[in-house]
Chain A
Amino acid sequence: MTIEQRLRTYILDSFLFTDDESVLDNDDSFLEKGIIDSTGIMEMVSFLEQEFGIQVDDEDMVPENLDSVSRIIAFVSRKRALV
C-alpha cells in the first residue's frame, strides 16, 4: 500500500470510525474540520513513527507538516528521503 492508502485507512479507522472514503478529503484540515484533537495528534505521531520508521522531532510538530493527509504525505516522504 502507498503512504496515502496506509494513512487514510488509519485516519478513517481510528478517528472517523468508518471505511467510507468519501468523508475524508486529502486537503481537509484536521483542526478546522474537528477530525483530530490534541491527544489524537499525539497518537497519530506515534503511528507515523512506527508505521513509516521516521522520527518526528519537536520542531516537526507543526500544522504545516501534520494538519492534513496531503501535508503528512509530503512530510513523511521528505523525512524518508533524509534517512
Chain B
Amino acid sequence: MATTLLDLLASSLRRRPHAEALVCGQRRVSYLALWNASMTVVACLRRRGLQPGDRVALLLEPSPEYVAGYYGVLAAGGMAVALNPLAKEWELAAWLRHSGARWLLCAGRTRQCEALAGECPQLDMTELGLWRRADTALSRPPTTAEPDAPAAIIYTSGTTGAPKGVTLSHRNLVSNVTAVMRYLQLTPADRVMHVLPFCYSYGNSVLHTHLAAGATVIIEPGLMYPHRLLERMAEERATGFSGVPATYALLLARTRLDAYPLDSLRYLTQAGGPMPLRDILLVREQLPWAAFYVMYGQTEATARLSYLPPALLLEKPGSVGVAIADTELAVCDPDGRRLPPGEEGQVCARGPGVMLGYWQDPEATRQVLHNGWLWTGDLGHMDEQGFLYLHGRASELIKVGAYRINPAEIEEVLLAMEGVAEVAAAGVPDPLLGQAIKVWLVPQPQARLQAQQVLAYCRRHLPIYKLPRQVVFTDALPRTASGKLRRHALMEAGTAGLED
C-alpha cells in the first residue's frame, strides 16, 4: 500500500525505469533519471541539516527541476511549499515568513532571489542543477513518513497579514491522486499535455496522478500561442489535456481543434469554475473521440471532490457530477442539516482528501472544518440521483482564469496608494476568463486620480494575473448599517459602473 507520493513514483520506476516521465522542450527525462535527481535533492537537504517536517519552498517554473525538487523534499522528510514564480517579491516574502521555510529551491540567483535573500536572511537558497548523474543506480532509500504527517502547503489567496496555507498530509495527496487515476483510467501509455501552474492544486494533481500511473507528463509553458501548443500536442501524440474554462476559451477563440491531427487524444479534463455548455459542446464537436470530464474540487480537499462521467454530459448538463472514491458530498443548511434533493445550501465534503487545516491558523481552520466535514463555501443543490449542481459561491473570492484571488489582496495594495481613501474590488463577468477584477475607488478630497494612474500603480505592485481590468471612481462604497462593505451589491452592479 502506498503511503506517500514517493511510494507511487517508486512503483512507476520499478515497472518501467526507462520510460519517459517528463518531456520539457527538447529534454526527455526517464523515471530513473527523475528518481536519481530527486535523491540528489534528498542528499543535498540532509547534508544541510533538514529535519523531518521542515518546510522547503520551491520557486521554480514548471520543469523537471521542479518535479525532482518536490519529490526530493518529500523523500527527505520535509514539507514542500511550492510558490508561484509570477508573484511579486513582497508576496513571496510573506509566504516564506508565514511557512517558516528555511530552504528555497530555485533555478538560479535571479533578481527575484536576491530580493528575497534581503527580505528573508534566514533562507538557505539552493540552485538546482541535477541532471549530471542521470540513469545511474538507485541511491539509498528515502525517509519513511507517517500517512497523516503534513507533506505540503499550498498558499491560496490571503492578505499579507494572513496568508492562507492549505496543509495537506501524505494521505490527502495519495488518496486524491489514486481516486483521480481510477476514474480517468490512466495507464503508463498515457501522455498528458500539462499547461497549468504546478504550484496550485489542479496542476499539482495533474502532475502527480500521471507520474503515479507511470505515464508521461509533457510540460508546456502556457497558452500564449495556442497554435504552437496544439502542434506540440500532435507531435507528442498527447492522450490527455487538462484546463480551466479559460484554457478552452483561449483554444477555441481563434483555432479549430480539428485542424490538427489530435487523434491520439483520449480524455480532456476541466475544473476551476463553470465552463459554458456552448464551449463544452464545441470541444466535443471538434474532438468527438476524446472523453470530456467536468470536475469540481478545492485546494482544501487536495484537488478533486467530484467528476461527471463523460457519458452523462448531455444527460446531466451543468452538473459537476458525483463524489470521487471514498468521498462523501452533502448540501447543508447553515446549521449543518442535510437538505433534500433540489434545495440550495452549502456544499460540504468529507473524505481522505480533506486537508489537515490552514497552516498555523486554527481560527481560519475552525471556520471551514467541522467534525471532519469541509465547508466549501460553494452553494449548490443535489438531484435525486446524487448529482451535484453548483450555483455560485458564498465567499467573495474572484476566479480569474486558473487563479483564485481574494479581493482584500487588491484592496490592501491600493489603500497604500497616495490619494486613495477607500477601495473595493470584486469579480465581474468576463467572456474569456470567467471573471475579471473590477475596482471601485473613493479618492481622498482634492486628490486628482485617473484610472490609468491606478492601473499603472497596480502593475508595479501586483502580479499580472491580479491586475484589475476596470477602475471606476465613486463618492462612496455601498455599506451595511454597521459599515461592512456590501461586495455583492458591487458585483450585481457588475459592469454597469458608476463613472469611468
Contacts and interface: CB of A to CB of B under 8 A. Distances in A.
B464 A34 contact: yes
Majority DSSP secondary structure for residues of A touching B:
helix
Main SS of the interface on chain B?
A: helix
Contacts of B222: 38
A38 B253 CA distance: 12
A61 B226 contact: yes
A34 B112 CA distance: 14
Most buried by A among B222, B225, B453: B225
Contact of B225 (A17, A34, A62): A62
A74 interface: no
B254 interface: yes
Nearest to B465: A37
Contacts of A45: 254
B416 interface: no
Contact of A37 (B227, B259, B455, B464): B464
Interface in B201-251: 222-228, 246, 250
Interface residues of B, number: 25
A11 B358 CA distance: 40
Interface string B262-306: 000000000000000000000000000000000000000000000
B452 interface: yes
A18 B459 CA distance: 10
A53 interface: no
A62 B294 CA distance: 30
B456 interface: yes
Given A38-B222, A62-B227, A17 B254 contact: no
A61 B225 contact: yes
Contacts of A18: 452, 456
Contacts of B456: 16-18
B86 interface: yes
Given A42-B250, A45-B254, A58-B255, A31 B224 contact: yes
Given A34-B464, A61-B226, A42 B253 contact: yes
Contacts of B93: none
A81 B253 CA distance: 27
B227 A39 contact: no
B421 interface: no
B433 interface: yes
B257 to A, nearest CB: 11
Contacts of B228: 61-63
Nearest to A37: B464
Nearest to A56: B254
A58 B86 contact: no
Interface in B402-460: 432-433, 452-453, 455-456, 458-459
Nearest to B222: A38
A58 B432 contact: no
A42 B464 contact: no
Interface in A61-75: 61-63, 66
Contact of A39 (B86, B255, B432, B455): B432
A3 interface: no
B459 A41 contact: no
Interface of B: 86, 222-228, 246, 250, 253-255, 259, 401, 432-433, 452-453, 455-456, 458-459, 464-465
